[in-house]
Structure 1
Amino acid sequence: MTVQPSIRKIYFDVADRRQMFRLFDRHAPRPNRFEVDAAPLYAGEWFEIGRTEHDYMLEILPPLWMRGEMFAMREFLTDTVTSVFYTLWIDSKTRYFHAYCDLSVARSAVEIRDVIVERESRPVKAMTRAERLEHVWSATHDEYRGYAGERFLPELRGKRTIVVHGLGSSELKLLEDLTDAEIADRLPEHLRHLSVKAAA
């Protein structure tokens, strides 16, 4: 199983309720779902939501805690990872976000908040290749994404895959092996033409 970098944005539009629930468990079909600790896989993932979705989640259950501009869900995804929702003032606008925080790590919710504010305050909008791949993975329907199985070399098994349609045929490729053109084809128009930012 491939573990992603520590704190990362996984969707580059404002998620509506349907998309929000899809993103909550976008790793559901992973192999060994109940045998491997999922905390490293989910912790640090974040995306933007609307106010309606934020308020809906606040009203479902009493929060585990509320601190200033954030609250944590009482129900945990893993032993230590739960949803934290943020209301943040960025560039003179109130915006709302969801993140998975590992509460066993001191200040994880604050650190993710700071990353969100820094990422969303950039004057020039650009996406790294890794961010483009995360958006493609998040936006692709479950039927067209999965994990490398026995058709792949042993060292590649468990990596994320995606179906690529060509002229009269389909191919299963590793997500990380998508070409820039294949990535662009899977991005919405308003993201397709953003410049590619070099990874930090």
Structure 2
Amino acid sequence: MTFSPIRKVYQGVADRRQMFRMFDRHAQRPNRWEGDDGALYSGEWFEIGPSSHDYMFEILPPLWTRGEMFAMREFLTDSITSVFYTLKIDACMRHFHGYCDLADRGSPERMRDAIVERETRPVRAMTREERLEHIWSSTTDEYRGYAGERWPDQDRGKRTLLSYGGRQGTILKLLEYLTEDEIAAKLPVHLRFLPAAIAA
């Protein structure tokens, strides 16, 4: 079995509106209703507030609860569903949402461990991938999308963003090709100058 990478997709605590928006942050993907797109979602996680966590717990009876986590009864796709966590990190109770593939019995525990490891780093830092994921999560649908038929074959289906290109004006660009200056310009001020996380 291959595992999707576990990845933080939003910096800070998502409010309820942002939480619901990120539940399907790949809604604009091409051929949305064809095939299983579970790999897009599996492994994604972000922090939420306590009231959002409690609200989700009360919507429907959970599929299951295990100590500090519970799983939603409704599945996003195939065997992937939302798992919500209440974790004590640095003496504070914090709440998180993650998409776990329940066909993999260890998925919720691996997600929990990855969240704790990421959030207990001694220095607040972001990887390039986390910066790009935050930009994607916080950009409105009108300014993001997916490369279509006008793009070269190897780029079709990849994520795109509108970016300011100086004298060229606004241009559509692949998310993965944003320069460091473009990334900094799209991040909120409090995230622009965080150190880059050292890859393990």
Instruction: Check whether the contact 2:36–2:78 (CA below 8 A) recurs between aligned residues.
Output: no
Please report the TM-score for the alignment, with normalisation by the length of structure 2.
0.95
Aligned-partner residue type, residue 30 of structure 1: R
Q: Secondary structure at the match of 1:73?
A: strand
Q: Equivalent residue of 2:73, what SS?
A: strand
**1:107-126 alignment, distance < 5 Å:** 107-126=106-125
Over the aligned positions, Cα root-mean-square deviation in angstroms equals 1.3
1:96-132 CA deviation, whole Å, 9 max, x = no partner?
A: 0000000000110000000000000001111111110
Aligned partner of 1:174 in structure 2 is 174
In the alignment, what sits opposite 1:188? 188
Equivalent residue for 2:86? 87
- SS of the residue 2:77 aligns to: coil
Structure-1-length-normalised TM-score: 0.95
Helix, strand or coil: the match of 2:99?
strand
Deviation of residue 78 (structure 1)? 0.5
Matched, 1:154 2:166: no
- Percent identity for Structure 1 against Structure 2: 66
Compute the displacement of 1:199 (Å): 3.2
Checking the alignment, whether the CA contact within 8 Å between 2:8 and 2:45 is kept in structure 1 is: yes
User: Mind listing any 5+ residue stretches in structure 1 that lack a counterpart?
Assistant: none
Separation in structure 1 between the aligned mates of residue 85 and residue 70 of structure 2, nearest angstrom: 7
Instruction: Tell me which amino acid in the other structure corresponds to 1:126.
Output: A
- CA shift, 1:165, in A, is 2.2
State the distance in 2 between where 1:196 and 1:183 align: 13
- The alpha-carbon deviation at position 189 of structure 1 amounts to 1.3
